[in-house]
Amino acid sequence: MFRYLSRTLPRRTRVLVRVDFNVPIEQGRVRDDFDLLRVLPTIRTLQRRRNTCVLLSHHSDEHQSLAPLAKHLSLLLSTPVLFLRDPFSRRAALTVRRAPPGAVFLAENLRFWRGEKANGPAFAAALARLGEVFVNDAFGELHRPYASIIGIPRLLPSLVGPLVLAELGMLGRFMHRPRRPLIGIFGGAKVRTKLPTLKRFVRFADRVLAGGGVANTLLKARGLGIGRSLAAPASAAVRRLARSRRLVLPTDVIVRGPRSRVRRVPVAGVTPQERICDIGPETRLAFRHALGPAKTVIWNGPLGLAEDRRYAAGTLAIARALARHRGSVLVGGGDTVAFLRRVGLRPKFRYVSTGGGAMLAYLAGEKLPGLEALRR
C-alpha cells in the first residue's frame, strides 16, 4: 500500500519533493503558473512542520534553467526560494543541511544531466543525499521511468503527495463511478500515446469523439485519403478500432493546401497535397449535439492545430460548449489546458488534470511506474 504525506511525517526533516514545474518560460518570465499554484499547499504544509523542502523538477527544454521559477515561486510563497544551480555539489548539500527550519530550495532542471532520463543509480543516489524523505507530488510525471521518479524511492522512505492523491481520486471517480452517458473526446498530435486509451474507451464509454491526429489516423484506417495530415500507421489493431460504432469521426474538415490555400471539404474530398488542420462546421455541430445528453465528459487533446488561430475554431467551439455543460467535465493534457488558458476559459472548468500522458496511461488501465515505485 501507499504512505501519504500526513501529520505523521517527522518535523525538522529534509524532504525531497518531486514536482512538475514544466511550465512556459519566455524571456526569463513564467507565463503560466497553474502547475506552481497547484503544489503550493504541499510546500506550505511542509513549511508549517518546520521541514526543509527541496523541490525537484525538469523542463522539457533541456537547455532551460529553472532559475526564473525560483524567483516566481518566492513571490507566490512570500518567502525566499533558494536556487541550487548544482544540486550535486558538496556546497549544495551543506547548504541544505544547515538551512533553517522551513527553508525551501529548488534544484536546477534535472534534464541538464543524462542520469535523469537514463534512471542512473548514481544520479538518483546523488539526489537522495539531499533529503531524508521523498514525496512525489508530480502526477504528470508518474508514467516516466526516470531517476527522480522511480530511482529515489528505492533509496529513501517515500510518500504520495496531496496533489497526486487528489488526481488519483478525481480520475477514479470519473472512471469507476461515472454518471452516464459518458463521452470521451480525444485529439492532439501524440497519437500513439492516445490509442491505448482510445481502445479502452470504445468499450467503456457511450460515445467517443475524435479530432486532430487521432481522427486522421482513424479516417485513414477506414480507407479515406487524408493527404499530408498528421497520423499514426494504420495497423490491424487501429483498423479494428476504427470500425467501432461508438466512434464519432469528423464528416467535414478544414484543410490547407498548396500556397496555403484554406478550404472546407467533406472528409472524402481531401486531396493528396492537402493537410487537415481542423474539424469543419458540420462536425462541430454534430459533436455539440452528441455532448448534449452527456452526464460525464473526459477531454484530452485539441481537435486541430489550435495553436494557430486560423485552425482553432473547432477546439474553441467544443471548449465553449463544455464550459457551459451541466455534467461533470474532466480536462487534461498540456496542449488542451494551455489552449483553455489562452482563450480565457480555464476558470470555467472545475476538474483540470495536471497530467497529460499520465492521465492517458491511467485511463488506459496501465500501471504508472512512479506509482508502483511508491507502492514498494
Q: What CATH number is given to the structural domain containing 128?
A: 3.40.50.1260
Same domain? 209 vs 82: no
pLDDT in the model for residue 364: 86
Phi-psi region of 227 (alpha: psi -120 to 50; beta: other; left: phi over 0): left
pLDDT in the model for residue 189: 82
Domain count, the chain: 2
Nine-digit cell at 91?
556546497
For residue 376, being part of any structural domain is answered with: no
Cα separation, 45 vs 43, in Å, equals: 5
Instruction: Judge whether 66 and 81 are in contact, CB under 8 Å.
Output: no
Same domain? 256 vs 115: no
Domain of 272 in residue numbering reads as 178-363
For residue 101, being part of any structural domain is answered with: yes
For residue 37, being part of any structural domain is answered with: yes
For residue 210, being part of any structural domain is answered with: yes
Same domain? 67 vs 145: yes
Same domain? 199 vs 110: no
Bridge partners (DSSP) of residue 133 are: 15
pLDDT in the model for residue 376: 64
Same domain? 86 vs 230: no
Cα separation, 130 vs 122, in Å, equals: 13
Same domain? 241 vs 130: no
pLDDT in the model for residue 274: 97
Q: How far does CA 27 lie from the centroid of its chain?
A: 24
Same domain? 152 vs 209: no
Same domain? 153 vs 196: no
Tell me the whole-structure pTM to 2 decimals. Answer: 0.90
Same domain? 124 vs 238: no
pLDDT in the model for residue 113: 97
pLDDT in the model for residue 7: 60
Residue that has been written with the C-alpha cell 533553517 in this structure: 100
- Which residues in the chain come in under a pLDDT of 70? 1, 7-8, 376
